[in-house]
Amino acid sequence: MSLLRDQHIILGITGGIAAYKAAELARRLKDEGALVQVVMTDAAKSFISPLTMQAVSGRAVRDTLLDPAAEAGMGHIELGRWADLVLVAPTSADFIAKLANGMASDLLSTVCLATSAPVFLAPAMNQAMWQKPATQRNVTTLQADGIMILGPTIGDQACGDVGPGRMMEPHDILNALLAQTASGSMQGLNVVITAGPTWEALDPVRGLSNHSSGKMGYAVASAAAAAGANVHLISGPTALTPPKRVRLSSVRSAEEMFEAVQTAHSPCDIFIGVAAVADYRPQTVQTSKIKKNDDRLTLELVKNPDILSWVATQSPRPFTVGFAAETDQPIEHARNKRRNKGLDLIAVNQVGEALNPFGSDENQLVLIGQNEEIDLGRKSKAQLAIDLIETIAKKYHEQHKT
């Protein structure tokens, strides 16, 4: 069950181009079972319509501070009490400045001031505005006041600039919220996680890889960190921002990943291999770009080390969990893989037309152990990762009972 189920969430929207992402965010929060009340500033309504937000949240949008229709005309107090959590996404530089100075000049800023619920801000603005000392001062003030700042990320901006100021993507915001509400079931444990694809170079410009985006592995790392683990994430090339409170080692090839795992695995209590590691690599890597002189090109491939199997034979041996992406007879193949690799658990996802786990924000997992199989169902990768971490923690503690 999602940790956000039945939670009362106020989704505040301020004026900025990233406001269009608020509709996706509201939908994702609803998918987690949260009750979402949207509160918009006047500027936000120039970027996304209240009607759209009403349709996706299932509730009429609130936007007026002095609202005779609200309980005793004090909508801000009523909303502030109702909220379990307030999330403002996007948060403009102006709104940050307002909150940092305790101003309450519209419904949203007044709710933020009136509520005792945790407040999260996902800033979005031009990179120069974000980097200005005034904004940075305001952000520091808000953090000191206990307000949590999610992002922003670095990248291309709507104004044509490149730099810090993009709002975090809705699924990353959701991950961060889920992380804040997680359980502590892995408190103090050392957990190593592999994620993403590997890149097996053919020459300086080409290589062999696969469609793994890293989303599943990063979500697992985020959930483990939220559960209190010291997480070392060893990742192949991805376009993702590493989760907070996670140590990241970036690698490219399977051999580099193996080397990083060999260094990281000790002392490690739990190892989770989510990466889609290439089974083979080109025998030779050409130092110059391969020319297309011939009609045919034959590549000689050699086997890569099996990282997971190696981990499972170490002493002391960590609780070892693998993943399997299968196109046919997933359960059958995964059972064999678990046995052959000597794993405690394997999480299997089917690659099919109905749902392709590669790159998607959703997935469907069945967890297979020696004596049981647990269907974790189809959910967001963020929620699946939390459920997976809770199950792994439970099994780990059962195994280590004295």
Task: Please identify, using beta-carbon distances, which residue of 22 and 276 lies nearer to ligand PMT.
Answer: 276
CA atoms in the 13 A half-sphere facing the CB of 171: 18
By the rule CB under 6 A, 216 interacts with ligand PMT = yes
Rounded Cα gap, residues 247 and 254, in angstroms: 19
Least spacing, CB of residue 192 vs ligand PMT, in Å: 11
* Footprint of ligand PMT on 187-206 (CB under 6 A): 194, 196
Task: Please identify, using beta-carbon distances, which residue of 184 and 359 lies nearer to ligand PMT.
Answer: 359
Task: Please identify, using beta-carbon distances, which residue of 92 and 350 lies nearer to ligand PMT.
Answer: 350
Beta-strand ranges (E) seen in 35-95 are 35-40, 85-91
Task: Please identify, using beta-carbon distances, which residue of 52 and 210 lies nearer to ligand PMT.
Answer: 210
CA atoms in the 13 A half-sphere facing the CB of 101: 11
Beta-strand ranges (E) seen in 14-103 are 35-40, 85-91
* Footprint of ligand PMT on 240-259 (CB under 6 A): 254
| 372 alpha-carbon distance from chain centroid | 28
Q: Are 63 and 76 in contact (CB under 8 A)?
A: no
Task: Please identify, using beta-carbon distances, which residue of 126 and 175 lies nearer to ligand PMT.
Answer: 175
Segment contacting ligand PMT (CB under 6 A): 56-64, 155-163, 355-363, 393-401?
355-363
Task: Please identify, using beta-carbon distances, which residue of 47 and 358 lies nearer to ligand PMT.
Answer: 358
Rounded Cα gap, residues 149 and 283, in angstroms: 47
By rule CB under 6 A, what string of x and - marks binding of each residue 299-328 to ligand PMT? Answer: -----x-xxx-------------xxxx---
Segment contacting ligand PMT (CB under 6 A): 32-40, 170-178, 273-281, 294-302?
273-281
CA atoms in the 13 A half-sphere facing the CB of 372: 5
Q: Are 230 and 255 in contact (CB under 8 A)?
A: no
Q: Are 194 and 218 in contact (CB under 8 A)?
A: no
Sign of the Cα pseudo-torsion (327, 331, 332, 337, in order) = positive
* Footprint of ligand PMT on 29-68 (CB under 6 A): none
Least spacing, CB of residue 377 vs ligand PMT, in Å: 15
Least spacing, CB of residue 107 vs ligand PMT, in Å: 38
Report which of 131, 126, 129, 125 is spatially closest to residue 88, judged by C-alpha positions.
125
Segment contacting ligand PMT (CB under 6 A): 66-74, 115-123, 179-187, 271-279?
271-279
By the rule CB under 6 A, 226 interacts with ligand PMT = no
What DSSP designation does 384 have? H
Segment contacting ligand PMT (CB under 6 A): 72-80, 228-236, 312-320, 353-361?
353-361
Buried b (16+ CB within 10 A) or exposed e, 186-202: beebbbbbbbbbbbbbb
The residues annotated as belonging to the active site are: 159
Size of the site for ligand PMT (CB under 6 A): 28
Least spacing, CB of residue 250 vs ligand PMT, in Å: 15
Least spacing, CB of residue 265 vs ligand PMT, in Å: 12
Among 222, 320, 349, 350, binds ligand PMT (CB under 6 A): 349
Report which of 67, 120, 110, 90 is spatially closest to residue 14, judged by C-alpha positions.
90
Segment contacting ligand PMT (CB under 6 A): 17-25, 62-70, 281-289, 356-364?
356-364
Task: Please identify, using beta-carbon distances, which residue of 33 and 342 lies nearer to ligand PMT.
Answer: 342
CA atoms in the 13 A half-sphere facing the CB of 197: 17
Q: Residue for token digits 């590549």?
A: 299
By the rule CB under 6 A, 215 interacts with ligand PMT = yes
What are the residues binding ligand PMT (CB under 6 A)? Answer: 194, 196, 212-217, 254, 273-277, 279, 304, 306-308, 322-325, 337, 349, 357-359
